[in-house]
C-alpha cells in the first residue's frame, strides 16, 4: 500500500504539469487578453498605444512558451504571481477563498453521501414500490436539472418568499465572522442546491448495488443460515453496496468544483469558484491558472484518497 501511495504521489506532479500546460495554452489561444478585458467596449478611453504599453508592462508581449516558463519558475519558488487586474497576490487570494469553497463542498459532499446512500438503500430494498418510484423521479430530476436553476428556485421560494434563510453571502453583513451559527444559516441554501444535484448519483448507485447484493450468493447464504433479515441487510447488503460509492466520491469532485463557479456566484459565496468566475471574465491569467492548478491538485489528491479508502473498505482489494 505504501509503495502504491508513493507511486501515485510521484505521478501526481507530472499530471499537474500536464494540466497547467493544457490550461495555459488554451487560455492564451482564446481571443483577447487582460488588457482588452479591462477596456469597456462601450466606452473605450484608452488608445492602442496605451494598450500596447500596458501589455509590455504586464509581460504579455513575450512568446507564450516564455510566459509559461516564467510562470512555472515562479510557481516552483512558491509564487503564484499577482492579479493582472488588481495587483493582489494570487496565493493570498487563493488562501483567502479556498477555505470557503472547501467548507461548502465538503459539507455538501458529506450530506449528499449520507442522504443519497440512505435513500438508495431504501429505494433498493423497496424496489418498484411507490416510494421507489418517487425517489427515482427525484433522482432523475436531480440529474437532469442544472445546478443554477435549482439554486434560483431555492433562493426564490425559501429565501425571498418564505424568508427562512438568507439569500446570499457567508455571514450577515456587519455581524461577526467565523465558525458560528450565522455561517451555518447562510450555508443552508448553497449546500441544499449542491446536495439535491449530487445525492441523485449516490442514490442511484446505491440502489443498483443493493439490488446486486440482494441477489448475491453470500446474501442467500446468510439468509439460509437463519440470520435475521435486519442483520442480513446491515452486515451483508449495505456494507457491500457501499463500495461503488467510494469510487463515486472521487469522480464527483470535479463536477462539484466546476459547479462552484456558478453556485458561488449566485449565492455570493466568497470562494475560489467565485474568484475563478470573475478572473475568467477579466481574463486574469495568473488567477485563472492558480484556480485551475488548485482545483487539479484537489481533484487528484481526492482521487488518490478515494483509491486508498477503497483499499480499506473492500478487503478484496490489494495494492501490493
| Residues 165-224 close enough to bind another protein by CB under 8 A | 166-175, 177, 181-182, 184-188, 191
Choose between 130 and 242: whose C-beta lies nearer to another protein.
242
233 DSSP 8-state letter: I
Site for another protein in 259-318 (CB under 8 A): 265-268, 270, 274-275, 278, 283, 308-309, 311-313, 315
Q: Which set of grid coordinates corresponds to residue 23?
A: 490550461
175 DSSP 8-state letter: S
For another protein, the binding residue among 11, 22, 46, 220 (CB under 8 A) is 46
Residue 127 CB, nearest approach to another protein (Å): 26
- Provide the H-helix boundaries in 145-180: 147-154
If binding is defined by CB under 8 A, does position 160 make contact with another protein?
Answer: yes
Rounded Cα gap, residues 189 and 153, in angstroms:
10
Choose between 176 and 224: whose C-beta lies nearer to another protein.
176
Residue 204 CB, nearest approach to another protein (Å): 20
Residue 130 CB, nearest approach to another protein (Å): 27
Cβ count within 10 A of residue 173: 7
Residue 236 CB, nearest approach to another protein (Å): 15
Could you identify the residue written with the cell 448495488? 209
Rounded Cα gap, residues 113 and 245, in angstroms:
8
If binding is defined by CB under 8 A, does position 32 make contact with another protein?
Answer: yes
Q: Which set of grid coordinates corresponds to residue 206?
A: 446505491
Rounded Cα gap, residues 172 and 86, in angstroms:
26
Choose between 2 and 224: whose C-beta lies nearer to another protein.
2
Residue 251 CB, nearest approach to another protein (Å): 18
**Which residues, 6+ apart, have CB-to-CB distance to 117 below 8 Å?**
202, 203, 206, 241, 242, 245
Site for another protein in 69-128 (CB under 8 A): 86-88, 96-97, 106-107, 110-111, 113-114
Amino acid at each position: 500500500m505504501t509503495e502504491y501511495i508513493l507511486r501515485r504521489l510521484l505521478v501526481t506532479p507530472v499530471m499537474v504539469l500536464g494540466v497547467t500546460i493544457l490550461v495555459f495554452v488554451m487560455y492564451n489561444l482564446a481571443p483577447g487578453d487582460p488588457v482588452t478585458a479591462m477596456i469597456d467596449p462601450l466606452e473605450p478611453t484608452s488608445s492602442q498605444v496605451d494598450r500596447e504599453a500596458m501589455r509590455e508592462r504586464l509581460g504579455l508581449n513575450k512568446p507564450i512558451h516564455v510566459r509559461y516558463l516564467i510562470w512555472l519558475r515562479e510557481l516552483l519558488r512558491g509564487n503564484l504571481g499577482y492579479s493582472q487586474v488588481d495587483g493582489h497576490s494570487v496565493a493570498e487570494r487563493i488562501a483567502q477563498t479556498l477555505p470557503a469553497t472547501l467548507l461548502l463542498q465538503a459539507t455538501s459532499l458529506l450530506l449528499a453521501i449520507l442522504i443519497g446512500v440512505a435513500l438508495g438503500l431504501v429505494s433498493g430494498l423497496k424496489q418498484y414500490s411507490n416510494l421507489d418510484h418517487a425517489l427515482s423521479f427525484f433522482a432523475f430530476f436531480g440529474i437532469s436539472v442544472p445546478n443554477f436553476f435549482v439554486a434560483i428556485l431555492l433562493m426564490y421560494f425559501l429565501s425571498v418568499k418564505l424568508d427562512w434563510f438568507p439569500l446570499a453571502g457567508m455571514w450577515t453583513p456587519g455581524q461577526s465572522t467565523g465558525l458560528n451559527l450565522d455561517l451555518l444559516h447562510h450555508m443552508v441554501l448553497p449546500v441544499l442546491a449542491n446536495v439535491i444535484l449530487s445525492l441523485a448519483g449516490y442514490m442511484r448507485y446505491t440502489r443498483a448495488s443493493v439490488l446486486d447484493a440482494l441477489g448475491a450468493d453470500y446474501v442467500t447464504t446468510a439468509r439460509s443460515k437463519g440470520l435475521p433479515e435486519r442483520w442480513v441487510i446491515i452486515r451483508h447488503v449495505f456494507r457491500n453496496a457501499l463500495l461503488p460509492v467510494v469510487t463515486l466520491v472521487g469522480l464527483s469532485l470535479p463536477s462539484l468544483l466546476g459547479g462552484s463557479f456558478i453556485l458561488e456566484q449566485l449565492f455570493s459565496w466568497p470562494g475560489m469558484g467565485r474568484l475563478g468566475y470573475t478572473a475568467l471574465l477579466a481574463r486574469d491569467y495568473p488567477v485563472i491558472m492558480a484556480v485551475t492548478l488548485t482545483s487539479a491538485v484537489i481533484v487528484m489528491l481526492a482521487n488518490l484518497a478515494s483509491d486508498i479508502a477503497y483499499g480499506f473498505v473492500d478487503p478484496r482489494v490489494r495494492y501490493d
